[in-house]
């Protein structure tokens, strides 16, 4: 009697464990090699410089989120020198928070420069545990490309959104 109950307990917990073990990767899209390489490069993005003052700002377009954008050293060089296009290896990571009071972002939007050519970006979104978010990864992600085309003058990066002085009195107002 007693033995049966113990056996039942053991089998039941083994079942629970196996369900928990497979439960966490659902249908998460596998990252491509390229995505993985960019995610590795971006892993320490919080140590990079931010565009603007680093405070959360209301996003112009990214789903009403609050955002903060980090740029790696290569991207930062291009922005401070105002010498567009960005060079291969430039990387921009935008944290998106659903609310201003959240402690951590809900999603990261990322652009990695594939070559020195104007507009040649690889687009990605990641969850904070670096899983591909919403299947967004690739050099031709229509929804990202179409909107970012509006920033064609600065290689598709909305530099002016951060109040960055473009020099020569040009603040992004076309003056």
Residue 61 in contact with ligand HEC, rule: CB under 6 A: yes
Residue 92 in contact with ligand HEC, rule: CB under 6 A: yes
Closest to 92 (Cα-Cα) out of 134, 123, 138: 123
Residue 132 in contact with ligand HEC, rule: CB under 6 A: no
- Distance of closest approach, residue 146 Cβ to ligand HEC, in angstroms: 7
Other C-beta atoms closer than 10 Å to the C-beta of 99 total: 9
Which listed range, 27-35, 99-107, 154-162, 165-173, lies at the site for ligand HEC (CB under 6 A)? 154-162
Q: Out of 31, 36, 49, 62, which residue is the one contacting ligand HEC (CB under 6 A)?
A: 62
Report long-range pairs for 112-115 (Cβ below 8 Å, ≥24 apart). 112/38, 112/41, 112/42, 113/74, 113/75, 113/85, 113/86, 113/87, 113/88, 113/89, 114/88, 114/139, 115/88
Residue 83 in contact with ligand HEC, rule: CB under 6 A: no
Q: Out of 42, 111, 126, 132, which residue is the one contacting ligand HEC (CB under 6 A)?
A: 111
């Amino acid at each position: 009697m007693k033995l049966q109950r113990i056996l039942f307990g053991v089998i039941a917990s083994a079942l629970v464990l196996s369900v928990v073990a497979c439960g966490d990767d659902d249908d998460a899209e596998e990252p491509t090699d390229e995505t993985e390489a960019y995610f590795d490069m971006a892993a320490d993005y919080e140590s990079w410089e931010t565009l603007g003052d680093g405070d959360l700002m209301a996003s112009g377009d990214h789903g009403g989120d609050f955002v903060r954008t980090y740029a790696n050293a290569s991207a930062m060089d291009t922005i401070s020198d105002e010498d567009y296009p960005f060079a291969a290896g430039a990387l921009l990571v935008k944290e998106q928070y659903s609310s201003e009071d959240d402690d951590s972002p809900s999603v990261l939007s990322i652009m990695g420069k594939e070559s020195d050519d104007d507009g040649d970006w690889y687009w990605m979104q990641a969850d904070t545990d670096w899983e591909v978010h919403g299947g967004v990864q690739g050099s031709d992600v229509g929804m990202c490309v179409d909107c970012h085309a509006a920033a064609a003058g600065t290689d598709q990066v909305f530099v002016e959104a951060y109040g960055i002085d473009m020099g020569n009195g040009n603040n992004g107002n076309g003056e």
